[in-house]
């Protein structure tokens, strides 16, 4: 077994929806980034790549490459899972913590778990997603940013 960790952070800007784990969440803000800026998929992609010692999302999908402008981040995760599979690994489970002041994510957690599980090729019971606020402190607490931490267990190798 191998363990991978990933994290991501993006500024928030006016607009919406906010895309997290491939789910469009109604919101007055959206994440600002080169791709769709889905912090959950970026963090999990890095965790999968790191656990399999395959580099990181920036190396495989650089934000300087116009091909990834406004890209669906599910593409990144799908490729990371494929590459891990080629290296002899499969995802056992994933645990995710999203840090965001608003909107409330509780009504969307199940949909995010299902979408993430499908992209990882695992049962949704192996996907943990938690949401935390910034308690009014720092860029998360002021509603300026969204962040995510992810840990993935890989089996095989």
Task: Quote the DSSP letter at residue 107.
Answer: G
- The residue-averaged pLDDT of 122-130 equals 98
For residue 90, what are the domain limits? 2-156
Summarised one tens digit per residue, pLDDT across range 86-101 is: 999 999 999 999 999 9
What three-state secondary structure class fits 56?
Answer: coil
Confidence band, pLDDT 50/70/90 cuts, at residue 32? very high
CATH of residue 75: 3.30.1330.50
In the sheet that holds 2-14, the strands lie side by side as: 29-31, 2-14, 145-156, 89-99, 127-132
Q: For residue 157, is pLDDT > 80?
A: no
Confidence band, pLDDT 50/70/90 cuts, at residue 69? confident
Confidence band, pLDDT 50/70/90 cuts, at residue 123? very high
Domain count, the chain: 1
Question: What is the model's pLDDT at position 95?
Answer: 98
Question: Taking all residues of the chain, what is their mean pLDDT, rounded to a whole number?
Answer: 96
pTM of the model: 0.96
Question: What is the model's pLDDT at position 63?
Answer: 86
- The residue-averaged pLDDT of 83-87 equals 97
Selection from 5, 7, 40, 48 nearest residue 155 by Cα: 48
- The residue-averaged pLDDT of 137-145 equals 97
Contacts of 44 (CB under 8 A, 6+ apart): 6, 77, 94, 96, 116, 120, 150, 152
Other CB atoms within 10 A of residue 7 CB: 16
- Chain-centroid distance, C-alpha 37: 9
Question: What is the model's pLDDT at position 68?
Answer: 85
């Amino acid at each position: 077994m191998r363990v991978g960790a990933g994290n991501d952070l993006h500024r928030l800007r006016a607009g919406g929806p906010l895309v997290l784990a491939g789910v469009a969440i109604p919101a007055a803000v959206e994440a600002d980034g080169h791709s769709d800026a889905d912090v959950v998929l970026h963090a999990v992609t890095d965790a999968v790549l790191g656990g399999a010692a395959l580099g990181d999302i920036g190396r495989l999908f650089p934000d300087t490459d116009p091909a990834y402008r406004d890209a669906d981040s599910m593409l990144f995760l799908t490729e990371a899972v494929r590459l891990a599979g080629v290296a002899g690994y499969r995802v056992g489970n994933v645990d995710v913590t999203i840090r965001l002041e608003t909107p409330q994510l509780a009504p969307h957690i199940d949909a995010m778990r299902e979408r993430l599980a499908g992209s990882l090729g695992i049962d949704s019971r192996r996907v943990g997603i938690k949401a935390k606020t910034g308690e009014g402190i720092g860029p998360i607490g002021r509603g300026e940013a969204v962040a995510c931490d992810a840990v993935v267990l890989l089996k095989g190798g």
